Structures are given as structure tokens and as C-alpha cells.
Amino acid sequence: MANAKNKKMTPTQQKYQRLASSMEPKRPVLKNCLRAFLVGGMICLLGECIRQAFIAFGGFDEKSASNPTVAVLVLIAVILTCLGVYDKIAQWAGAGTAVPVTGFANSMTSSALEHRAEGMVLGVGAGMFQLAGSVIVFGTFAAFIVGLFYAIFIPDFAGGGH
């Protein structure tokens, strides 16, 4: 395969390459960025509205309202994925739906739905955690590296010293 890339193209191949490039549709980068920004912002705005509702009506303080907010956002993403709505939004918005919590919930739910014919344990459970496993391992490793960095370079941070 590496030799194919290094091989000099013939004039016919070069002509074909130019023709293929000219026929390729132009990507609307600015429009895609705007859509991603708007949808990602709307998801974050929804999360903030839910958090404020937990504070105002649920008796939570600002810090403790975060956990149920995340749970509700995950639940919404799972329901919309099961109904096929989240994927349609993702097609339109692109990266805007990859906001970490909802994007991860969508990915896990999609994987579970895709493998449901194989059974609950070996299909849904295993399919779901094929994706989650790598994310959890990366998150744990990244947290370890950041913690190590703080322990070495900012010793007062871990000890809470003043």
C-alpha cells in the first residue's frame, strides 16, 4: 500500500485525479460550524435550564444540582436515540451533538440497540461496553496523569494547604 502512494502518477491518472477533485462537492464549513455551535449551545442551555429547575424547585444547591442534571440529560439523549430523533439531529448538526454527556449516551444506546438481537447480556451489555470500556479506561488514565501532575508540580493543591 505504501508503494502505491509513492508511485508517480501517469498523466492519465493525474487528469482523472483533477476531474475527480473538481466533481467533489464543496463542504460548507462555515455553515457546519454554525450548526454545531447552535445545537451544542442549545444542549448546554437545556442542561442549564434543568439545573436551574433543580435548584429552584428541587431544593438542591448549585453544586448538588449537577448530578441529577447530568442524569436527566443522559435520559433525554437515550430516549431520543431510541426514537431515532437524536441521529437525525446529529446528521443536521454534526459535531454539535457530541457534547460529552449526550453524545456518549447516544453512542452507548446506539451500540446497545444495534446488538439487541444477540441477547441482553452478550448483545446489549457487551455491545454497549465495547465503546464504554475504552472511554472509561482513557478517562481513568487521564485522571491519573492529571493527578500525578498536580501532586508533583502543585503539592499544596492535594493537601489543601494555605
Short-list 61, 144, 143, 78, CA closest to 113 = 78
Residue 2: pLDDT over 60: no
**Most confident residue range from 11-25, 49-63, 129-143:** 49-63
Question: Which pLDDT score, from 0 to 100, does residue 130 have?
Answer: 75
Quote the CA–CA distance of 95 and 90 in Å, as a whole number: 7
The proportion of the chain whose per-residue pLDDT surpasses 90, expressed as a percent, equals 42
Assign 160 a pLDDT band (cuts: 50, 70, 90). Answer: low
151 within 8 A of 158, measured Cβ to Cβ: yes
Assign 85 a pLDDT band (cuts: 50, 70, 90). Answer: very high
- Taking the complete model, does pTM exceed 0.95, yes or no? no
Contacts of 20 (CB under 8 A, 6+ apart): none
CB neighbourhood size of 96 (10 A): 23
